[in-house]
Chain A
Amino acid sequence: MNPYPALVATVARHRGVLACLVVMEDDGIVVEAAAQIGVETAAFAALTASLYRKSARAAAAAGFGGVSFCELEAERGRVLAAGRNGLVMVAVAEPKVNLGLLRLELLRAAAGL
């Protein structure tokens, strides 16, 4: 049974979350997604997977070990990503989202990847 729709749904149901995706880390291709209308999931997937990969390389180069979570804060929103087993779970959220709760939920969901 495909576990990803349930994992995505647990994150996507939170208030302020615009999209939640499971993305292949190396390819940036969407595996599973739930998004509000207007969110370009393919672009988000490709660019966030790239960001996550490069964050991991930066952390490795600095001798910090592997990356398990990264967050991008922008003027009108936030992108959070947590990865495991070659997959990255990405949440796209409004600035007013409950960040602590979302982060917790994303890490919990990513543990199921």
Chain B
Amino acid sequence: MIRHTLTVGWADAPLKHFVDDARLQVAILMHTSGQVLAQVGFQRSLDVQTACALSAAINASAEHLGTMVDGTPFRGLHYAGMERQIYLGQVPSPDALLLVLAVFDSESSLGIVQLYVKELQANIAAAVPSSTDHEPALAENFETDLNRNLAQLFGRG
């Protein structure tokens, strides 16, 4: 399983701030591999794992598709459902590229979310600890776990 418990404290405050300002229902900050850094709004860890795995897959697909058709990776995805919308954006940090998944309804809007993503990027850049302060967060068998988890999600496990 993905080690969803590996949330790190430094990312909680900027993400909570982002959720409050942009009037979001749910938000997750994660590595591009799908490993969660912080989340606000999810009640069950399985939901977090699922959202992270799918977001990472969407981001990887968009990067490759963008490179293929436009020469540069596509960055940022918005999907509007009947009542809820999602925005998946990239948040560069000094150490790595991060992803943020934001879920919102009519209380917010795409423009508002994009506006506050910029603020989140600045807050994350200011809050991220030095890479020498901690060990690598990924487990040795992370990729295997991720693939197994995705297979289970799609009923192939």
Residues on A facing B (Cβ under 8 Å) = 23-24, 26-30, 42-43, 45-47, 49-50, 53
Contact = CB atoms under 8 A, between A and B. Distances in A.
B111 interface: yes
B109 A50 contact: yes
B114 A42 contact: yes
Q: Which 4 A-B pairs have the closest CB atoms?
A: A28-B111, A46-B111, A28-B109, A27-B110
Contacts of A43: 115
Contacts of A30: 111
B120 to A, nearest CB: 14
A42 B110 CA distance: 11
Interface string B74-109: 000000000000000000000000000000001011
Interface string B102-145: 00001011111011000000000000000000000000000000
A90 to B, nearest CB: 12
Interface residues of B, number: 8
Contacts of B110: 27-29
A30 B109 CA distance: 12
A42 B109 CA distance: 12
A43 B111 CA distance: 8
A53 B111 CA distance: 13
5 contacts: A27-B109, A28-B111, A29-B111, A45-B111, A50-B109
B138 to A, nearest CB: 35
Contacts of B115: 28, 42-43, 46-47
Contacts of A27: 109-111
Contacts of A29: 110-111
Nearest to B110: A27
Contacts of B108: 50
Contacts of A24: 111
B114 A26 contact: no
A48 to B, nearest CB: 9
A47 B112 contact: yes
A26 B107 CA distance: 10
Contacts of B114: 42, 46
Given A42-B114, A42-B115, 8 more contacts: A28-B110, A29-B110, A29-B111, A42-B111, A45-B111, A47-B112, A49-B111, A50-B112
Q: Which of A23, A24, A50 has the most CB of B within 10 A?
A: A50
A50 B106 CA distance: 10
